[in-house]
A and B are shown apart, each in its own frame.
Chain A
C-alpha cells in the first residue's frame, strides 16, 4: 500500500513535469496556439501568434496596454476618418453616466477579441442596436426618425460609428440630385513620374539597356530580354544595383540575385506602410512569416495556396506593365463570388476598353480601382496621387468607398444604393440596386423645414 502510494506520487510528478514542459514550450516556443483563449476575429487571426503585439511583452498589461495596441495600428486611420466618436469625446466626467453603460473610451468594449460567436462584421461584439445607449431620444430632435429601429442606424447605409465622411447631412444635400454616372468618370491620374520630371532632388535620368550596371556574371533574363530597359524603373533612373546590391556593415558590397522585399521600401515607403497595415502585409509588418493564401479565411484558388505575399507577389519590378497588379495578380489567388463575377461586370468591360486603348487612360475599373484606391494628398505643397496599398482601408463599412472610390464616377445617391445592396456587391455590381437608401431625401426635407424656420443655411 505504502509503495503503491509512492508510485502514484512519482507518476503524478512525472506527468506534472511533462505538462509543465509542454506548456512552457507553448509559451516560449513559436507555436502559441495552446494559449489562444478562443478563435481570433477575422481582422486579427493572421497575427494571433504574435501575442505581444496586442498584450504587451509581459502579457499582463490589462486594458491600458490593449488600448495602446489598438491605437498603434488603427489610430492614424481613425484620425484620417475624422472619427465621430473619438475617445476624447468621452473622457469628460460629464459623460460618467454614459460610460457606466458603455465604456466608449476603450475599443474592446465594442470590439472584444477571441469571442468568435459574438463577433459580427468589423469585429463588433455588441448587438447591432448599440446606438440606443446614448441616442435613445433621437426621435425627439429628429421627427423623421420616429419609429425607426436602432438596429438599422448603421445597417441601412445611413450612419457609421466612426467614419461618416460620406454620410453627414451637409454632404448629402450638397450631392443631392447627381446623375448615376457623372460626366467626367475617371480616376485621378497617378503622378509620381510627372512630379519627378517637374523637378526635385531625385536623379531622374532615364536609363537605357547599355547603362545597366549589373556585373556580367549576374546578368540574366531581365537584361537579356530587355525587360528592365522598358520598365518604369529604368525610366526613373533606377539601375540594377539600386535593388540588387547590398552594402554590408563592413562596407563591403554583395550582389543579391533575389533582393528581399524590404528593398522596395527604400523608395516606396508610404506604399509599404499601407501594405503592412492590411491583410496582405500585416504578418510581414510584425516579422511573422509571410501570409499564404492557404491560411486565408476567404476562398482562394487551390493552385495559389502556397504562394507567399510580399511586394513581388503582385508586382514584377522588371516589367513595363504595371497593370498586372490591378487585376491578374488579384484573381490569381482570390476565388470568392465577388472576384469570380468581376470578368462579367460592366466595370471589367471598362477596364478592357482602357487596356485596349478604346477608352481613355484612368477610365477603366480594375480590382485595384476600388480596393487599392488612388488617394490625392498634399505633400510638401504639391498634389500627390498615391495608391493606398492597404486594401482593407476602405473595405468596411463599405460606405468608406463612397468618396475614395465610387464618387469618382457615380453620383452619391446611386453609389449609396449600390453599396447597400449585398446581393449586388456579391454579383460585382452586375445589375441595378434593389433597394433605395432614403438619407439624401431625409437630409433635403430637413434642410427645407429649417429654411422655413428662418435659417439661411451655412453662415455667410
Chain B
C-alpha cells in the first residue's frame, strides 16, 4: 500500500516533465513552468559566456599574450591567477552553498584531475556523445541517491590558445593533442525532477 503510494508520487512529476519536454502546447507550459531543458540551456549559456570571457580577457591576455602573471592551481601560494576550471568549480560550489536546486560540474574523458572523470552512466554516455557529435548537446535522465534528475551535457570547447597549451603541456594530462576548437570535456547540468 505504502509502496504503491510512493511510486505514484515519484511518477507524477515525471509525467509533468515529459509533457513539458514534448512541448504540449501553451496551456500545459504555463502550468508546468519552464521545462528542465530550457532551464539547463539557459544556465549553460551564462556559464559558457562567463567561462569564455574569463579565459580570453584574463588568462589568455595576462598569462599567454602579455606574460604578466601566471595561472596556477596553487594560486594562493604562487600569488597567481585562478585556473579557469577552478573559477568554474568555485562558482559551482558557491551555488551549492546557497542551496540552489540545480548543480553543475566540468568533466572530461581526458581529465587532468582524475576526480573530473565521468562517474555516472549518464555522464559517460553524455561525454562520449558530445565528443562524437561536435556541436551537439546530450540530454538524459538518471536516478541518483533516490532522486530523479534531468541531466544535460554540453561540450566544453577550446576557445583560446591558453586552453590548448595548458592542457597539452600539463604533467597530468592523459592527452596532448588538443587543438583550438576541439571538445575538451563537458559541462554537466543537473536539475531534480521532483
Contact = CB atoms under 8 A, between A and B. Distances in A.
Q: Do A and B come from one complex?
A: yes
Given A89-B93, A92-B105, A459 B170 contact: yes
Given A82-B76, A451-B171, A88 B97 contact: yes
A81 to B, nearest CB: 11
A93 B169 contact: no
Contacts of A171: 74, 77
Contacts of B131: none
Contact of B144 (A86, A89, A94, A141): A94
Contact of B173 (A96, A170, A455): A455
A278 to B, nearest CB: 24
Interface string A28-45: 000000000000000000
B31 interface: no
A457 B171 CA distance: 6
A93 B63 contact: no
A396 to B, nearest CB: 22
A450 interface: yes
A437 interface: no
B105 A455 contact: no
B74 A450 contact: no
Q: How large is the interface on A (under 10, 10 to 19, 20 to 34, 35 or more residues)?
A: 20 to 34
A170 B93 CA distance: 24
Interface string A181-209: 00000000000000000000000000000
A455 B170 contact: yes
A141 B76 CA distance: 26
Given A89-B93, A94-B119, A168-B74, A447 B147 contact: no
A91 B74 contact: no
B145 A93 contact: yes
Interface string B24-40: 00000000000000000
Interface of B: 63, 70-74, 76-77, 92-94, 96-97, 103, 105, 114, 119-120, 123, 144-147, 149, 165-166, 169-173, 176, 188, 190, 192
13 contacts: A91-B97, A92-B92, A92-B103, A92-B105, A93-B147, A93-B149, A93-B192, A94-B105, A100-B145, A447-B171, A455-B169, A455-B171, A459-B165
Given A94-B105, A168-B74, A458-B70, 16 more contacts: A92-B103, A93-B192, A94-B120, A96-B144, A96-B146, A96-B147, A97-B119, A447-B171, A453-B171, A454-B169, A456-B171, A459-B63, A459-B71, A459-B165, A459-B169, A459-B170
